[in-house]
Each structure stands twice: as structure tokens, then as C-alpha cells.
């Protein structure tokens, strides 16, 4: 990740890029966990019986999102970074996460 000097004298953009990138990581985690769970590769425990396995899958994805956000925020918050890579990663990971969370995609791996 290359850094650049802030052009406008505002806040460094690192914290914003950390939030965007982490959102992409969380979306991808949600899709990947739902796929791996549906295909039997990743048994995730149920956290609330009446609602079933979705409680474990979604909680795990949220934890991954928050950990990714905290880690990236700590690393980047005082830096001013190039946005191109994070833009592509955030949109790409989110799109991939949405795709992997679609039930018809699960059947391709069963």
C-alpha cells in the first residue's frame, strides 16, 4: 500500500479506507461462511436454537468484520493512502460476498 501526502490539509484518508476495506472483508466473510457451511466444509455452531444455524454464521462474519476493521484502522488511521486498490478491493470483495451468499451458487459446490 503506497502512501501519499494529503492534498487538502484534511484528515488522512486511512481511517476511511480502513472502514471501506473492512466492510468488503465482512461482506466476503459472510458469503464465504454461508457457502462453506451450506456445502458442509465449515460446521458453524448455532448460538440461538430457535433461529438455527444462521445465528452462528452471521455472528462469525460480524466478528471477522470488526476484527478486520479494528486491525486496519489501527494500521492506517494516521496515513494518507492511495485509494485505487482499496476501492477495487472493497467493491470486489463485496460483490464476491454477495455472489457466494446466493443459494444457487452453493449448489455448484455440492
Partner 1 sequence: MDTLLFSSRSIWTMLHGIVLGGGGLLAVAAALFAMIAMRTTPPGDAAAAQSRYLAWLLVATSVLLWAAVLAGTYVSFPAYRAAPPEGLTDLSAYPRELIRSNPATAWLHSFAMESKEHMPWIAAMLATGVAFVASRYREQLMHDDKLRRIAVGLLTLTLMLVAGVSFLGVLINKVAPLE
C-alpha span between 21 and 94 (Å, rounded): 9
Instruction: Tell whether residue 56 is a contact of partner 1 (CB under 8 A).
Output: no
For residue 23, give the C-alpha cell: 466492510
Q: Which is nearer to partner 1, 40 or 50 (CB)?
A: 50
Instruction: Tell whether residue 44 is a contact of partner 1 (CB under 8 A).
Output: no
C-alpha span between 44 and 57 (Å, rounded): 6
DSSP alpha helix (H) spans, 1-110: 14-38, 54-76, 84-100, 103-108
Instruction: Tell whether residue 72 is a contact of partner 1 (CB under 8 A).
Output: no
Instruction: Tell whether residue 79 is a contact of partner 1 (CB under 8 A).
Output: no
C-alpha span between 17 and 14 (Å, rounded): 5
Instruction: Tell whether residue 96 is a contact of partner 1 (CB under 8 A).
Output: no
Among the listed residues 23, 36, 42, 67, the single contact to partner 1 using CB under 8 A: 23
C-alpha span between 103 and 36 (Å, rounded): 12
Q: Site residues (CB under 8 A) for partner 1?
A: 8, 10-11, 13, 15-17, 19-20, 22-23, 26-27, 30-31, 34, 48, 50-52, 54-55, 57-58, 61-62, 65, 69, 83, 86-87, 90-91, 94-95, 97-98, 101-104
Amino acid at each position: 500500500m503506497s502512501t501519499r501526502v494529503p492534498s487538502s490539509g484534511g484528515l488522512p484518508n486511512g481511517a476511511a479506507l480502513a472502514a471501506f476495506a473492512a466492510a468488503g472483508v465482512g461482506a466476503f466473510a459472510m458469503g464465504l461462511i454461508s457457502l462453506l457451511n451450506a456445502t458442509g466444509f465449515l460446521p458453524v455452531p448455532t448460538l440461538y436454537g430457535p433461529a438455527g444455524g444462521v445465528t452462528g454464521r452471521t455472528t462469525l462474519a460480524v466478528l471477522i468484520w470488526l476484527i478486520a476493521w479494528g486491525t486496519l484502522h489501527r494500521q492506517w488511521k494516521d496515513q494518507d493512502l492511495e485509494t485505487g486498490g482499496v476501492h477495487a478491493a472493497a467493491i470486489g470483495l463485496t460483490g464476491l460476498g454477495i455472489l457466494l451468499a446466493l443459494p444457487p451458487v452453493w449448489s455448484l459446490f455440492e
